[in-house]
Every structure is written in structure tokens, then in C-alpha cells.
Amino acid sequence: MSSTWREFMSWNKYTQVASRALRQALTETDRVAAEKRAAIGVRYQLWENGQGGEQKYVVPPAKDASSGTPPV
């Protein structure tokens, strides 16, 4: 019975659904804090001759006046 859910969704989809349900059950202040922690930025870096180049964001993070550094 435990493998029945695997026929319909992947592990990533399962954790996404479970985390969304948990966030919806939280109070407003806790929910907002959890959503801020969930925001991530993805960067890439090209390497040539053993040296790393400049790190660039795939999607630049939105400028947030309340935080000094973007989430990574």
C-alpha cells in the first residue's frame, strides 16, 4: 500500500504538496516567514583553465528593501 502513491506522483511532487498543505495550516506570520525561506536564487559560474568566472543569477532575485542580501 505504501508504494501506491508512487504510481501517481514523484517524491518531489509529494513533498511539494505536503509543504503547501503545511504552509496553509500555519498562522499568517509563520506562513509569511516560511514563504520567505522558500525563495531561493540559482546562480551559475563558467570555469576556464581551472579558474571560476563571475557568478551570475539564472533569474535575478527581486530587490527587497527589508533584507540586505538575497537568499541563496
pLDDT in tens, 57-68: 887 877 764 555
| Whole-angstrom distance, CA of residue 8 vs CA of residue 41 | 29
Check: pTM over 0.85? Answer yes or no: no
Mean pLDDT for the chain? Answer: 80
Report pLDDT digits (tens) over 27-36.
999 888 887 8
Query: CA distances (Å), 23 to each of 34, 54, 57, in order?
Result: 7, 36, 27
